[in-house]
Structure 1
Amino acid sequence: MNGNDGTRVRVTLRVHRFTPRPERDHARSGSPFAKQGSPFGSGTARRRPRGKQWIQEYALSVLPDTTVLDCLLDIKRTQDPSLAFRYSCGHGMCGSDAVAINGTPTLLCTAKVKDWAVSQAAQGTTDADGFRKTTGATIDESGDSAPDGDTNALLVIELSALPGFPVQRDLIADIDPMLEQIKRLKPYLQADGRLATTKDGKIDVFEYLQRPEQLAAYETLSNCIACGVCEGSCPVFAGGEAFIGPAALIAASRFINDSRDTAAEARMDAIDTADGIAACQSVRACSRHCPRGIDVGEEIWQLIAKVKERQ
């Protein structure tokens, strides 16, 4: 489909909606003999919320280059103000608007209608790699969808909350479990305090000198925006297993590879557990849609090798 000729397309957004029930007081209901969960596992933080679930469809006429976020904003302003979703910068920098589009975790603000709209007939089919199809429809000059020559097929985009996390409301997932796991691994520089000095021996502000190759070892990893797309794509984490998750491992790797950090051994000890790197099954689905271009699977594989080299 051509997004630059001004031709509008008709598309239906099929949204998986959710309204939670009021929380019950679980303080007295827990058994003192209940098995304690892993610090990286499901536990109460990953408990599936209870509430009303339904699918609601919204019809729109938009330009092919319109982002899915803009479609939702249009719906909220003109059709249904009760529709709940989250966003902030709208430019793929903050990561707050991660959802599943056609079953694939990605960002609303970077996903365009022309790339994600599929014909209703194509929904649920898989590609050559066994992954669910996310595209397939084309647009003719009149604005009708034309998958495989069918100009009357309905274009659909299916939206649901990010997999692997409790749903708070509609498309809003509770990513606090991921953020807590990242925080548990101390995602900040732990240096030895020795500062660079000038030629006359004075402290050169608070500068820690690095060579370009030292910076290159972790620079890409510092681009992570903790959006949760990799975690929603991971069959281990999203499946509810006890696993620290790829986002936390990337955060740990960022500092393990930083020449200024002096806590690399302690960081590797923290992830060298059954719920840490041992739980990673190297599926590499986490790499498929990282909005910052990080090859998450490869980085985790390198991290696993580095941890095992100590043994």
Structure 2
Amino acid sequence: MTNSNVTTVTLKVNRFTPRPERERDRARGGSPFARTRKSSPFGGKSDAPARRRPRGRQWVQEYTIPARPEDTVLDCLLAIKRTVDPTLAFRYSCGHGMCGSDAVAINGTPNLLCTATLKDWVKPESGMPVLDDDGFRRTGDDAADADGAKGSALPESGSLGVIELGPLPGFPVERDLIADIDPMLDQIRKLKPYLEADGVLATTHEGKVDVFEYLQHPDELAKYEQLSNCIACGVCEGSCPVFAGGDAFIGPAALIWASRFVNDSRDTITMDRLDAIDTEDGVAACQSVRACTRQCPRGIDVGEEMWQIVAKVRER
């Protein structure tokens, strides 16, 4: 006898298994899986070979498992990994939206597995959007309310719906839902993501070390405090139609990290930082689409910050 109260969800996972690396690929450094590879995060400014799209077997695999509306997509993947298919590959760490390691495409939209709940992301099995009484598509809280309402009148199958999963767009795929985000991290490192002070040890008039050397006014702190919440998850870059794994655009994540220190009153190399991003592959490549803002898990208005840093570059 089946329990009529049990609900299920179907995950359609875009899977990928890389083709084994060949010796000739390793010799010319063309394999994206080579241990000693180099790539230019700004495209065309390095003698290293360009990063190549990995080749291998691609297919879509469906998993239907018991689930509750309040479960996260990560909960479902962990259940599949532990009880159904141990070969399924995905990445996560903290599981609480703080590390950013589990960014993927959920129904085509970049987001974190650990913060995406089924009630917010499931689609009807027919693929049709949920409509309200007036025939308009439900979005945001309205969609969640609609899903909650469906729970009281589930179809005979007890299915919550379907969720499609794929790797984070804009990055090479390593396996299944794991994308290679090294290009983004390389770009961030290029822009010196750390405070550059003048190195002078402040002292009091008595000759003692001034422990309040870096005290800031609240207004100064407010200029960069929100930007310091960036967890380099890559969601903004996966949403950006201009970014393509570092081949044409430095990317919004690197510019957010640059802006964080440009706005820090304690930093002493502001002009150098602005010079570093004032390039064809830097702020000049931003098309102000603002797609980077839509799903930032830390609540940063990435599009607005991009506009602000572009304005600073042009006004200097």
TM-score range, shorter chain: 0.7 to 0.9
Pairing 1:271–2:277 present: yes
Pairing 1:233–2:239 present: yes
**Which residue does the alignment assign to 1:3?**
none
- Which of these residues, 85, 89, 99, is aligned with residue 94 of structure 2? 89
- Which of these residues, 3, 13, 16, is aligned with residue 14 of structure 2? 16
Q: CA deviation at 1:99?
A: 0.2
TM-score by length of 1: 0.84
Contact residue 248 and residue 281 of structure 2 kept, 8 A: yes
What amino acid maps onto 2:63 in structure 1? Y
Return the alpha-carbon distance in structure 1 between the equivalents of residues 28 and 76 of structure 2: 44
Q: CA deviation at 1:208?
A: 1.4
What amino acid maps onto 2:18 in structure 1? P
Contact residue 119 and residue 145 of structure 1 kept, 8 A: no
Query: 5+ unaligned residues in a row in structure 1: which ranges?
Result: 1-6, 31-36, 126-132
**Which residue does the alignment assign to 2:154?**
144
- Mark the CA change 1:114 to 1:46 in structure 2 (over 3 Å): closer, same or farther: farther
Q: CA deviation at 1:119?
A: 0.9
Q: CA deviation at 1:11?
A: 1.0
- Which of these residues, 188, 205, 211, is aligned with residue 194 of structure 2? 188
Q: CA deviation at 1:260?
A: 0.6
Q: CA deviation at 1:274?
A: 0.4
Which structure 2 residues correspond to residues 101-250 of structure 1 after superposition, within 5 A? 101-122=106-127, 138=147, 139-142=149-152, 144=154, 155-198=161-204, 200-205=206-211, 207-238=213-244, 242-250=248-256
Contact residue 8 and residue 158 of structure 2 kept, 8 A: no
**Which residue does the alignment assign to 2:54?**
49
Contact residue 14 and residue 167 of structure 2 kept, 8 A: yes
Pairing 1:40–2:42 present: yes
Deviations 1:229-263, CA, capped at 9 Å, x for gaps: 00000001148750000000001000111111111
**Which residue does the alignment assign to 2:34?**
none
What amino acid maps onto 1:12 in structure 2? T
Contact residue 45 and residue 177 of structure 1 kept, 8 A: no
**Which residue does the alignment assign to 1:257?**
263
What amino acid maps onto 1:185 in structure 2? L
Return the alpha-carbon distance in structure 2 between the equivalents of residues 170 and 56 of structure 1: 10
What amino acid maps onto 1:58 in structure 2? Y
Q: CA deviation at 1:200?
A: 3.1
Q: Give 3-state SS (helix, strand or coil) of 1:155's partner.
A: strand
Deviations 1:190-240, CA, capped at 9 Å, x for gaps: 111234444634112484121111111111100000000000000011487
What amino acid maps onto 1:266 in structure 2? D
Return the alpha-carbon distance in structure 2 between the equivalents of residues 73 and 116 of structure 1: 17
Q: Give 3-state SS (helix, strand or coil) of 2:63's partner.
A: strand
What amino acid maps onto 1:165 in structure 2? F
Contact residue 10 and residue 144 of structure 1 kept, 8 A: no
Identical-residue share of aligned pairs (%): 70
**Which residue does the alignment assign to 1:297?**
303
Q: CA deviation at 1:140?
A: 2.9
What amino acid maps onto 1:281 in structure 2? Q
What amino acid maps onto 1:99 in structure 2? V
Contact residue 105 and residue 233 of structure 1 kept, 8 A: yes
Return the alpha-carbon distance in structure 1 between the equivalents of residues 61 and 153 of structure 2: 24
Return the alpha-carbon distance in structure 2 between the equivalents of residues 76 and 145 of structure 1: 27
Which structure 2 residues correspond to residues 40-79 of structure 1 after superposition, within 5 A? 40-41=42-43, 46-79=51-84
TM-align CA RMSD: 2.9
Q: CA deviation at 1:153?
A: 7.5
Return the alpha-carbon distance in structure 1 between the equivalents of residues 125 and 276 of structure 2: 46
Deviations 1:43-79, CA, capped at 9 Å, x for gaps: 8564211000000000012111000001000000010
Q: CA deviation at 1:22?
A: 1.4
Query: 5+ unaligned residues in a row in structure 2: which ranges?
Result: 31-38, 131-138
- Mark the CA change 1:104 to 1:213 in structure 2 (over 3 Å): closer, same or farther: same
- Residues paired across the two proteins, number: 289
Return the alpha-carbon distance in structure 1 between the equivalents of residues 75 and 63 of structure 2: 13
Q: CA deviation at 1:122?
A: 2.8
Q: Give 3-state SS (helix, strand or coil) of 2:310's partner.
A: helix
What amino acid maps onto 1:209 in structure 2? L
